[in-house]
Amino acid sequence: MLRSRKLVVVPLTALAVAGVAVGTAVAASGHGAPKVDKIKVVQSMKVKPGFYIQDGLRFTPYRSSVKSGGTISLSATKSGMSEGPHSFSLVKKSQLPKTAKQINKCKVCGQIAQEHGADPNSEAPPTKPFIDGGDGFNKPGDSTFFDGKPQKLKVTAKKGTTLYFLCVIHPWMQGSIKVK
């Protein structure tokens, strides 16, 4: 039931059903203990019968920081996965939707979902669970499909950069990471 209410920009049936292991997400390894910043998907739903349902599905914290070369660990609570999978996608600040209309017509969300290889006409998993321009998780367009299984992302963006992210399936799930 929740699923049918989901705000979907392009038909994301494929993303919604896929259970994909993201093998290419870069794991932190070696060289001492890299600082790991944790971002978690959580849910807290509020309902006012007759009026609205407030979907508290979100990344928390929505603002965080990481050292250049450091690691972001992505995880989710059980309820955080109640509305299907997510993506953790870097976009430009100007591409973050702010209004309901922008959320419903999130152009960049459609583009990134398409690049993940989500076939809107099938329930096949995305063909490309990890999108990377080739030099790590550091710029708009880089994206990982998140099925709830914890992931570690090495952030290669330079010190001083702020990365903005959202979930292309639930585009109100947004946040930023300061690279120190």
Residue closer to Cu ion, measured from CB, 86 or 154: 86
Distance CA 85, CA 103 (A): 17
Maximum CA pair distance of the chain? 56
Q: Are 108 and 127 in contact (CB under 8 A)?
A: no
Would you count residue 167 as binding Cu ion (CB under 5 A)? yes
Would you count residue 116 as binding Cu ion (CB under 5 A)? no
Of 13-21, 27-35, 70-78, 160-168, the segment contacting Cu ion by CB under 5 A is 160-168
Q: Are 108 and 94 in contact (CB under 8 A)?
A: no
Tell which one of 37, 96, 170, 175 touches Cu ion (CB under 5 A). Answer: 170
Distance CA 108, CA 39 (A): 22
State which of positions 6-35 bind Cu ion (CB under 5 A): none
Of 2-10, 46-54, 99-107, 167-175, the segment contacting Cu ion by CB under 5 A is 167-175
Would you count residue 169 as binding Cu ion (CB under 5 A)? yes
Residues 6+ apart with CB under 8 A from 100: none
Residue 7 is given by DSSP the state: -
Residue closer to Cu ion, measured from CB, 37 or 83: 83
Tell which one of 8, 9, 70, 86 touches Cu ion (CB under 5 A). Answer: 86
Q: Where are the alpha helices (DSSP H) in 6-46?
A: 13-17
Binding site for Cu ion (CB under 5 A): 86, 167, 169-170, 173
